[in-house]
Amino acid sequence: MTDFIHRFEPATSAGSPPLLLLHGTGGDENDLLGLGKMISSGSALLSPRGRVLEHGMPRFFRRLSEGVFDEDDVRKRAHELGDFVAETRKRYGIAAPVAVGFSNGANIAAALLLLRPDALAGAILLRAMVPLSGPPKAELGGKPVLLLSGQADPIVPASNSAQLAALLSEAGASVEHKVLPAGHQLSQADVTLARGWIGSIAAEAA
């Protein structure tokens, strides 16, 4: 059993995809529940807390310094999260979720797409970076991915988010990458774009 401290809220609408909410550094399982409801009001919400502590702040994997990841830990933690998703899907009776990750949560979601493609139905990656310098050859088979980057993001260089978009596209994902006039923090534009994107993939699946 690979359990995470987590929150689960059941779906209130049959046509809305379940969401896997993955917080940023220092967040917890409550952080993105409001965002999840804003972008897809009827979805089941599964929101785990990262199991790594950095100066007391929860994260989903270790880093060596800002923007430099412990890649062995990224791989280990992505597999733990993939196992958790598989187990909780059975427990709660939900379909493969769409990940909604912010910052560190977006980075583990990108790693999950590359290492455990079957775990997710797609992903919204908010301020994500390339999680692995030598990623495995993944087959993403048209999985939809929305990557939203900040033009003035002091943490994620524009070249890095562009590289991530290319990496996921080459692995077969259907990637939509938008660069917003924002920094690392989320803006109303992120919410609006994510809501429209979720609505369009739910309509395609219907």
Mean pLDDT score of the chain, rounded to an integer? 95
Gap between the Cα atoms of 32 and 36, Å rounded? 6
Gap between the Cα atoms of 147 and 149, Å rounded? 6
From the list 103, 149, 161, 190, the catalytic residue is: 103
DSSP code string of 128-193: -----SS------TT-EEEEEEETT-SSS-HHHHHHHHHHHHHTT-EEEEEEES--SS--HHHHHH
DSSP for residue 2: -
Q: pLDDT tens digit string along 39-48? A: 999 999 999 9
Gap between the Cα atoms of 39 and 199, Å rounded? 9
What does the domain layout of the chain look like in residue ranges? 6-205
153 assigned to active site: yes
* CA-based nearest residue to 104, from 34, 31, 204: 31
Q: pLDDT tens digit string along 114-128? A: 999 999 999 999 999
- Exposed/middle/buried for 81, CB within 10 Å: 0-12, 13-18, 19+? buried
Q: pLDDT tens digit string along 67-101? A: 889 999 999 999 999 999 999 999 999 999 999 99
Q: pLDDT tens digit string along 130-188? A: 999 988 889 999 999 999 999 999 999 999 999 999 999 999 999 999 999 999 999 99
At 126, the amino acid letter reads: L
pLDDT at residue 80 in the model: 97
103 assigned to active site: yes
pLDDT at residue 1 in the model: 53
Contacts of 171 (CB under 8 A, 6+ apart): 113, 114, 117, 135, 137, 138, 139, 140
If DSSP codes are grouped into helix, strand and coil, which group holds residue 102?
strand
* CA-based nearest residue to 92, from 36, 6, 20, 10: 10
Whether 63 has a pLDDT exceeding 80, the answer reads yes
The answer to whether 121 and 143 are in contact (CB under 8 A) is yes
CATH of range 6-205; options 3.30.420.40, 3.40.50.2300, 3.10.450.50, 3.40.50.1820? 3.40.50.1820
Contacts of 23 (CB under 8 A, 6+ apart): 29, 31, 32, 47, 49, 50, 58, 102, 104, 105
What mean pLDDT is predicted for residues 52-59? 96
31 assigned to active site: no
pLDDT at residue 203 in the model: 83
pLDDT at residue 202 in the model: 84
From the list 23, 31, 153, 161, the catalytic residue is: 153
From the list 6, 79, 177, 184, the catalytic residue is: 184
